[in-house]
Amino acid sequence: MTAKARHNKILDYLQEHSLVTIAELVELLDASPATVRRDITDLDAEGKLKKIRNGAEKILSPTATASPGMVGFYPNISDYSNYDESDRIARKAVEICQEKDNIFIGEGRTTFLMGKYLLDTSIHVYSNYLPLLIYLISQDFPHLVVLGGQYIKSQSLLVSPDTNVSYQGRYMIVSGDGLTEAGLTKSALLAFMEEKKMLQYADKVIALVDADKVGVFGGISMFTLAELDIVITGKSADPAMVETLLKNNVQVFLV
């Protein structure tokens, strides 16, 4: 098998499986471990996959081939504690929204995954989270309002002091680093401040929280349970905390 044929087979496999090990590729390609490692190194240099220890992962960037310099701008699959769960959470968040809804989306790896599910909808998105914005723009998504301001590279945010613009939306969708009886918490201060600004424009708040963060305190208290309307999390989330959410009239989706 030629190098080009091996490369295509590796990339095709990653489209289906997201992650692959050296051992799996040795079997798939009927090639030596050294050949497989060389192929992964070459494809990583071309920005077509991300090389990880003992394997490779699919790149979430929609423009990895055309613009390799953008690859690090997007989250990587290995950045997620449970990529498949986060993907299900993101998909459910989009499913909850109705066509032509105005929604505000905050920063976060899980909110980024909403992008691919928004593409075939007429939902109107308001956001300052650049990875999501650039993804949607690159995919010609037409229903997009960029909440502008100063670019903060370290957190991929546009930060604006302007709070006088009049927006209105059905949902504000945010991620969190923890969820306890005290509410949703977040470790990124600037993201927290910007998302609190967005809150005044939205009717309801949807929190996207990984199951392993439910029952865990994760930084600054962002929203109390009284301010949350919906929580979407994984099926393994702490049952006691889920019960607490329900008792506080928070709708819970376990995906």
How many whole angstroms separate alpha carbon 156 and alpha carbon 209? 20
Judgement on whether residues 116 and 182 belong to the same structural domain of the protein = yes
Low-confidence stretches of the chain (pLDDT < 70) are 61-72, 149-151, 153, 161-165
Cα angle 125, 254, 248 (rounded to 5 degrees) comes to 85
- pLDDT at position 12: 92
**Domain count across the chain:** 2
The answer to the question of residue 117 being in a domain is: yes
- pLDDT at position 147: 85
Which CATH number do you get for residue 190?
Answer: 3.40.50.1360
Within a 13 Å sphere around the CA of 167, how many CA atoms are in the beta-carbon half? 25
- pLDDT at position 111: 97
The answer to the question of residue 214 being in a domain is: yes
Of 37, 65, 93, which residue is a domain's last?
A: 65
- pLDDT at position 161: 63
What type of residue is 94?
Answer: V
How many whole angstroms separate alpha carbon 57 and alpha carbon 40? 10
Which CATH number do you get for residue 11?
Answer: 1.10.10.10
What is the reported pTM? Answer: 0.82
The answer to the question of residue 78 being in a domain is: no
Cβ atoms < 10 Å from Cβ of 161: 8
The answer to the question of residue 7 being in a domain is: yes
- pLDDT at position 63: 53
Identify the domain containing residue 55 by its residue range: 3-65
- pLDDT at position 159: 74
Judgement on whether residues 115 and 45 belong to the same structural domain of the protein = no
The answer to the question of residue 75 being in a domain is: no
Judgement on whether residues 179 and 87 belong to the same structural domain of the protein = yes
